[in-house]
């Protein structure tokens, strides 16, 4: 071993036993129910939670606390188009009677202040992109839904407060405000110190989740910087030698291809340079009585897992509803509103375990689930008779 290698090894050892590293480990061991349930980036879940907390009459015990914090936050949000509420307008909305709607004409959250003739809507985007003209359509819809109202605001909520791509900046009625999940984090932190009991525990879980999964944690960032300053060689060496998802991907897909090449199986690999999905592998067989059914395997970089399920394009799902229900006992269902495939046998998710990293154990587990699903689908679709 060279002197340089010895020096790096000694520095890694010092880093491992350092107070900074031990503090960082404590953060990684915090219980995160959102991660446990694999809903870190589910927009529907987040919209439901925000809507619930904003509704004073719900049995969370917050009353108007969360709502008032949100209203007060409106004044400090970045204005993208139109006019924001002034301070007297905001004060007038506090403690007012509200009606909250979920998915009203597809708008995630609509807060109706009937006595003040004011609408504040929230469009929540975590991972999904905007569909064509989505935000401008919502700008048109709000005055149509509430024609006798005076003020319409649409809050565009994203992890980093980015600008919408489909808004109409010259819209005469509906203003656009930009909010980030840092705003939701700040609101939650302001509220959590004023409550006790179960709701306090739940709000603390939201705070942990937002810091770990969406906006980042400044304390963790500071700890990482301290570690880098004190142990720069060890830090850089660890970064340079992180396990690569692509190595797992190559081994896993090769194993699948070796198993199913030939026998009229068709295997395709598709790349997705977005959403954290590195690659998709899909398999189907030309002998299957219902074509367009594919077994899909996603390697998910964000959540460190492999998703394995059978899916069919939406138009064929509707065409073969009854047949698929007869064969598999379930109807196809939509995976995401912006994805054209519907799944009908979500068979398994293989998480990359901490002790295995991206090694053989995870590859074998995912491979076995894939084989099990393929054999199940293959048997049903080759023997099926209408």
Q: Is the pLDDT reported for residue 101 higher than 90?
A: yes
**Confidence band for 238, pLDDT divided at 50, 70 and 90:** low
Q: Mind listing the pLDDT tens digit for each residue in 109-153?
A: 999 999 999 999 999 998 778 888 999 999 999 999 999 999 999
Bridge pairing between strands 151-158 and 341-351: unpaired
DSSP 2: -
Query: How many other β-carbons are positioned within 10 Å of the β-carbon of residue 335?
Result: 17
DSSP secondary structure, 12-74, as one string:
HHHHHTSHHHHHHHHHHTS--HHHHTT-TT-HHHHHHHHHHHH-TTSTTS-TTHHHHHHHHHH
E-assigned strand segments in 149-234: 151-158, 174-180
| Sequence-separated (6 or more) residues with CB below 8 Å from residue 3 | none
**Confidence band for 318, pLDDT divided at 50, 70 and 90:** confident
Element (H, E) at 187: helix 181-192
Domain limits, the chain: 1-30+196-242, 41-180, 245-383
CATH T-level assignment (fold) for domain 245-383 = Metal Transport, Frataxin; Chain A (3.30.920)
DSSP 114: G
| Cβ-based burial of 294 (10 A; exposed 0-12, middle 13-18, buried ≥19) | buried
| Cβ-based burial of 293 (10 A; exposed 0-12, middle 13-18, buried ≥19) | buried
Measured distance CA(316)–CA(338) in Å, rounded: 17
**Confidence band for 370, pLDDT divided at 50, 70 and 90:** confident
Among 21-30, 176-185, 190-199, 336-345, which is the least confidently predicted range? 21-30
Give the residue, 152 or 200, on which the prediction is more confident: 152
Strands lying side by side in the sheet with 78-81: 78-81, 174-180, 151-158, 118-124, 107-113, 99-104
> Would you state the pLDDT for residue 316?
75
**Confidence band for 159, pLDDT divided at 50, 70 and 90:** confident
Q: Is the pLDDT reported for residue 87 higher than 80?
A: yes
> Would you state the pLDDT for residue 173?
94
Token pair 């850089």: residue: 236
Query: How many other β-carbons are positioned within 10 Å of the β-carbon of residue 244?
Result: 10
Q: Is the pLDDT reported for residue 374 higher than 50?
A: yes
> Would you state the pLDDT for residue 326?
74
Measured distance CA(174)–CA(316) in Å, rounded: 39
Nearest 5°: phi and psi at 333?
Answer: -135, 155
Q: Mean pLDDT for the chain?
A: 77
Measured distance CA(258)–CA(263) in Å, rounded: 12
Measured distance CA(131)–CA(136) in Å, rounded: 11
């Amino acid at each position: 071993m060279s002197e340089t290698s010895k020096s790096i090894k000694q520095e890694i050892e010092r880093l491992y036993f350092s107070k900074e590293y031990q503090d960082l480990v404590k953060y990684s061991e915090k219980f995160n129910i959102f991660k446990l349930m694999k809903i870190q980036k589910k927009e529907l879940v987040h919209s439901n939670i925000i809507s619930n907390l904003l509704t004073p009459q719900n049995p969370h015990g917050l009353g108007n606390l969360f709502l008032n914090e949100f209203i007060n936050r409106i004044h400090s949000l970045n204005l993208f188009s139109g006019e924001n509420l002034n301070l007297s307008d905001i004060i007038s909305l506090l403690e007012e009677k509200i009606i909250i709607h979920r998915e009203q004409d597809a708008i995630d959250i609509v807060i109706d202040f009937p006595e003040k003739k004011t609408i504040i809507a929230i469009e929540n985007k975590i991972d999904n992109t905007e569909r064509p003209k989505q935000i401008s359509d919502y700008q048109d819809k709000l005055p149509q839904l509430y024609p006798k109202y005076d003020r319409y605001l649409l809050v565009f909520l994203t992890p980093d407060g980015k600008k919408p791509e489909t808004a109409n900046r010259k819209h005469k009625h509906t203003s656009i405000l930009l909010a980030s999940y840092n705003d939701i984090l700040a609101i939650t932190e302001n509220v959590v110190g004023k409550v006790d009991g179960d709701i306090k525990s739940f709000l603390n879980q939201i705070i942990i989740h937002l810091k770990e999964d969406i906006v980042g944690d400044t304390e963790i960032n500071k700890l990482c910087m301290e570690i880098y300053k004190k142990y720069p060689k060890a830090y850089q060496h660890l970064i340079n030698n992180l396990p690569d998802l692509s190595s797992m991907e190559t081994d896993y897909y090769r194993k699948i291809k070796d198993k199913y090449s030939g026998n009229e199986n068709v295997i395709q690999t598709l790349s997705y340079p977005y959403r954290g999905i590195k690659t998709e592998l899909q398999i189907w067989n030309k002998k299957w009585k219902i074509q367009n059914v594919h077994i899909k395997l996603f390697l998910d970089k964000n959540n460190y897992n492999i998703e394995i399920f059978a899916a069919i394009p939406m138009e064929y799902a509707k065409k073969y509803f009854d047949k698929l229900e007869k064969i598999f006992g379930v109807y196809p269902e939509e995976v995401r509103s912006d994805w054209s495939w519907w799944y009908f046998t979500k068979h398994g998710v293989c998480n990359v375990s901490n002790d295995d990293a991206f090694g053989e154990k995870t590859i074998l587990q995912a491979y076995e689930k894939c084989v099990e699903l393929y054999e199940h689908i293959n048997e049903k679709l080759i023997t099926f008779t209408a």
